[in-house]
Chains A and B, each alone.
Chain A
Amino acid sequence: MLLPDSQDWAAIWLTLKLASIVTVLLLILGTPLAWWLARTHSRLRGAISALVALPLVLPPTVLGFYLLLLMGPNGPAGQLTQALGIGLLPFTFAGLVVASTFYSLPFVVQPIQNAIEAIGPRPLEVAATLRARPWDTFWSVVVPLARPGFLTAAVLGFAHTVGEFGVVLMIGGNIPGATRVISVQIYDHVEALEYAQAHWLAAGMVAFSFVVLFLLYTLNPDARRKPA
């Protein structure tokens, strides 16, 4: 039986790197967004919630298509990145990061939003009457109380990024070491009828996903509510 070759390992490494960067980015960007959605009375709330949830229902190819246009040489984002001297993002690792961030956004925002809504305003008011500044309250009250939500968000964001395929293909193509992640590598193996190698990676993905979700649901009973 053929063992994974160096290209397979490169794909695995790239995938883990992508998922880690995207998860960190999503926690940084998703937390304020989730906070705002959980606490605002603004009329924009419905529209923003819908926008955040779009990747849950859209085919990844649709999202990838529009991101490709936006970030392409004639798209506004593409012209901006070119003007800034970054160049064009499609078919680069950075482009993959941007696309994955959009694609996995609801998986991070919704668990955090649910957790913050579940805390309610009272603990924040109590903290304020005990002289805690808002930033202090966030770290000493919100984060500990919403920890299950943050954990769920991080795990789902990571796992979902590891598992994506359509967006990667649209925006990243298939460049070894730059954009060829595991799911694309499996696709290549199958196309080349290298079923043994495809098996290694595919079974690995199944095992990885199962273990992650198993740990999530066992260690974190609050995570039973699925996002969306």
Chain B
Amino acid sequence: MNAISLRVQHAFPGFALDVDLQLPGRGVTVLFGHSGSGKTTLLRCVAGLERAADARIEVNGNCWQAADRFTPTWQREIGYVFQEASLFPHLDVCGNLAFGMKRAGATVHQDEIRVMAARFGIEHLLGRKPDGLSGGERQRVAIARALLTRPRLLLMDEPLSALDHARKQEILPYLERLHDELDIPVLYVTHQIEEAARLADHLVLLEAGRVVLSAPLTEALSRLDSPLARDHDAGVVVPTQVLGHDEAWHLTHLGFAGGEIQVSQRALHVGQAVRVRILARDISIALSGDNASSIQNRFACAVTGIAPAEDPAQCLVALDVKGVALLARITRLSAERLGLVVGKPVWAQVKAVALLD
């Protein structure tokens, strides 16, 4: 179901934005790219903060811009979270939260504000002025403020980039919860692959104002022709579920479509959904599965593709484990010696798994 349709053409001084996208009407779409790729400009066009010369913007049946129409920002049912929290300094937290809610036509119920504040852990700050809040608290207020307008689309422009590492880790869990609970689509701009890996369902890669790739996250990260595959930190994201814990060996078992992954024991509930990231450089390939090895995470799979890597000594190997795509980066010499060809059954040995939680 493609419910967000963006066609935007505009020449700005120094670069041109030329984008034609069909995006899912649910879940988190990450607009990914370097600074200057046009991702923030595209987001601002969707919000109506920037008026592209030629654009057609449709979100879940609402046309916000076309040749003969331009809906001003204040009439678009969006929530927008800016890079800096941009709270109104003359209002306290409660006043900030109520600002958009009032104007969105909702009657202001203190209860609703309190519930939303509790959801973001800011209920003890309601009477405080923004000056006295930490960066992380401010950004949580900003997100709650945007959601209280009951938007049909949430736009987030690098909401974590102005925060230090600790503050980011403080906010990410809230964003992941949003991802699970929200039933409206989210467009999320970032240049951090880790944020994309944790939050995205769909990924759009922008370069110099053009779309290089638009695909579901797992596909975007595992495709050999994706520019992301050639990155030093290339790797796939695999959705898993916690199966159980092995108390004796302090391990946690995660299940995915292709089998089971063991990781060091973590405080996770059985049944909890967890995304793991497996880097291409952390996968080695063997021809048999029973050779003695210290590596426990081994999967029988088939080679689905081979492509040159950035380093001329290396190549990228695409693998398929019962429908789950993995990406391995090995030396070309190894590939040659193992006789890797498309369709060959091999074993993937996973040396390291990063839990995204």
Separation in Å of the B342 CB from the closest CB of chain A? 49
Whether A130 lies near B89 (C-beta < 8 A) is: no
Q: Name the residue of chain A whose CB is nearest to the CB of B104.
A: A131
Pick from B47, B75, B84, B88: contact of A141, CB under 8 Å: B88
Tell which of A20-28, A74-82, A120-128 binds the partner.
A120-128
The answer to whether the Cβ of B90 comes within 8 Å of any Cβ in the partner chain is: yes
Q: Name the residue of chain B whose CB is nearest to the CB of A120.
A: B86
CA distance A40 to B74 in the complex (A): 21
- Give the chain A neighbours of B145 by CB distance below 8 A: 130
Q: A125-B49, A125-B73 known; A130 and B86 CB under 8 Å?
A: no
Whether B88 lies near A133 (C-beta < 8 A) is: no
Separation in Å of the B293 CB from the closest CB of chain A? 54
The answer to whether the Cβ of A94 comes within 8 Å of any Cβ in the partner chain is: no
Whether A131 lies near B103 (C-beta < 8 A) is: yes
Pick from A123, A131, A145: contact of B74, CB under 8 Å: A131
The answer to whether the Cβ of A129 comes within 8 Å of any Cβ in the partner chain is: yes
Whether A145 lies near B73 (C-beta < 8 A) is: no
Pick from B78, B79, B80, B89: contact of A145, CB under 8 Å: B89
The answer to whether the Cβ of B262 comes within 8 Å of any Cβ in the partner chain is: no
Name which of A126, A129, A131, A134 has the most chain B CB atoms within 10 A of its CB: A129
Q: Name the residue of chain B whose CB is nearest to the CB of A141.
A: B88
Name which of A125, A130, A136 has the most chain B CB atoms within 10 A of its CB: A130
Q: A122-B82, A145-B89 known; A128 and B49 CB under 8 Å?
A: yes
The answer to whether the Cβ of B256 comes within 8 Å of any Cβ in the partner chain is: no
Separation in Å of the A129 CB from the closest CB of chain B? 4
Whether B79 lies near A123 (C-beta < 8 A) is: no
Pick from B72, B75, B90, B149: contact of A130, CB under 8 Å: B149
Whether A123 lies near B88 (C-beta < 8 A) is: yes
The answer to whether the Cβ of B146 comes within 8 Å of any Cβ in the partner chain is: yes
The answer to whether the Cβ of B99 comes within 8 Å of any Cβ in the partner chain is: yes
Whether B82 lies near A126 (C-beta < 8 A) is: yes
Whether B86 lies near A126 (C-beta < 8 A) is: yes
Whether B90 lies near A128 (C-beta < 8 A) is: no
- Give the chain A neighbours of B86 by CB distance below 8 A: 122-123, 126
- Give the chain B neighbours of A132 by CB distance below 8 A: 74, 99-100, 103
Whether B49 lies near A130 (C-beta < 8 A) is: no
Whether B90 lies near A129 (C-beta < 8 A) is: no
CA distance A133 to B102 in the complex (A): 12
Q: Name the residue of chain A whose CB is nearest to the CB of B142.
A: A126
Whether B103 lies near A129 (C-beta < 8 A) is: no
Encode contact with B along A26-59: 1 for CB under 8 Å, 0 otherwise: 0000000000000000000000000000000000
Encode contact with A along B28-51: 1 for CB under 8 Å, 0 otherwise: 000000000000000000011100
The answer to whether the Cβ of A144 comes within 8 Å of any Cβ in the partner chain is: yes
4 closest cross-chain pairs (CB), A and B: A130-B100, A129-B80, A131-B103, A128-B73
Known: A123-B86, A134-B74. 17 other contacts (CB 8 A): A122-B84, A122-B86, A125-B73, A125-B82, A126-B86, A127-B99, A129-B47, A129-B49, A129-B80, A130-B99, A130-B145, A131-B74, A131-B75, A131-B104, A136-B103, A140-B99, A144-B90
- Which residues of B line the A interface, CB within 8 A? 47-49, 72-75, 78-80, 82, 84, 86, 88-90, 99-100, 103-104, 145-146, 149
- Which residues of A line the B interface, CB within 8 A? 122-123, 125-134, 136, 140-141, 144-145
* Interchain Cβ contacts under 8 Å between A and B, 19 examples: A122-B86, A125-B49, A125-B73, A125-B82, A128-B72, A129-B74, A129-B79, A129-B80, A130-B74, A130-B104, A130-B146, A130-B149, A131-B75, A131-B149, A132-B74, A132-B100, A133-B74, A141-B88, A144-B90
